[in-house]
Amino acid sequence: MGYLSQRKKAHREIITIRFLLSLIAFLLLFSLLNVSSAYSYYIDSFRLYYYVLAVVIFVYSLCRRFVGFSLASFLLFVVSYFVLESSANIISNISYQSDKQISVLYGRQVTNYTKFVQEYSVEADLISISGKKNEFISLKRDFVKKGIVSLSSKRKADFILSQLSDKGVMFVAIDFKGIGLEEIDTVFNNLAQFVNLQGCPVVIFGDFGIPVWTSQFKSFLDKTHLEVKNRIIMGGNRYFFNPFSIPTINLLGYKEMGINEISFLKKAHTQETPILFDLSY
């Protein structure tokens, strides 16, 4: 009876693994076709998880000594890795060697504006407030101008021109969380136009609403020539990996700028974890 039970268990495992590998292969192929539809967007958004699932199957197959499945899952996660790496920094940030540094705090869904600024005034040089009262603050007051640019009827971005160089550096804070498919093209096209009109380097950070490997994000990077500087941030929580989120928080910058460190601070007067970016330029 024990022998038959083991055979049935192994058979179920083989069927499950075969199904999952076939599903990963199909979804990965479909996401690479750049089909313009709502289905392709949602499939492409979860591309990171094809990679994670392939890694899990590879490790499990090795432990169970399923040689064929080990080879197949290894091939899938290698392909998935290089596809992701072509547009996202999976593990590490892009650094830049320089003595010049600045700390930028992204405060998400701030509930008490005054107390939040008091809490983190020592932590950061620039603070972006996201919530009922959006604002960009330079704690050192060394900025030329600041303002708000309208990107659609629903979306706006806060910006501040800081005196970090002869031309200055434009910092743009965004919050596109929950952006709809019907908004994406309009918002990102208008943001690209705003970036290209600036006569100085631009840094954009915040919640873009879509992951960096989607076709819409890639098109935006091509238009602006900005680079994704950060590693994948899984939802912006304190944890390195949150399996229930799609990574949409990023910092984009010009070539001569890098990230030294990303820190998740305690929730103080916010609904979501503030994120501190330590930059070199």
Q: pLDDT truncated to tens, each residue of the chain (281 aa)?
A: 466 567 777 788 899 999 999 999 988 887 777 655 666 777 888 888 888 899 999 999 999 999 999 999 999 999 988 888 888 898 899 999 998 999 999 998 888 888 998 889 888 999 998 876 778 888 776 778 889 999 998 899 999 998 887 778 999 999 998 898 889 999 999 999 999 999 899 999 999 999 999 888 999 999 999 999 999 988 655 444 566 678 999 999 999 999 999 998 888 888 888 999 999 99
Q: CATH classification of 101-280 is 3.40.50.1100, yes or no?
A: no
Residue 208's nearest CA partner among 170, 245, 159, 248 is 248
Q: What 3 state SS string does 191-232 have? A: HHHHHHHCCCCEEEEEECCCCCCCHHHHHHHHHHCCEECCEC
* Residue-level pLDDT at 271: 84
pTM metric for this prediction: 0.86
The alpha carbon torsion through 188, 184, 126, 115 (nearest 10 deg) reads 160
* Residue-level pLDDT at 67: 93
End-to-end CA distance of the chain: 68
Where do the structural domains in the chain lie, given as residue ranges?
2-85, 101-280
The alpha carbon torsion through 235, 239, 240, 245 (nearest 10 deg) reads -30
User: What is each CA distance from 198 to 142, 150, 193, in whole angstroms?
Assistant: 19, 15, 9
- Rounded Cα gap, residues 54 and 77, in angstroms: 5
* Residue-level pLDDT at 243: 65
- Rounded Cα gap, residues 128 and 135, in angstroms: 6
- Rounded Cα gap, residues 162 and 160, in angstroms: 6
Give the largest CA-CA distance in the chain: 80
- Rounded Cα gap, residues 131 and 78, in angstroms: 40
Q: Which long-range contacts (CB under 8 A, 24 or more apart) does 73-79 make?
A: 73/17, 73/21, 76/21, 76/24, 76/25, 76/28, 76/50, 77/51, 79/28
Question: And the tokens for 193?
Answer: 């136009």
Q: Give the torsion sign (CA, 132, 236, 195, 167).
A: positive
Question: And the tokens for 225?
Answer: 């020539």
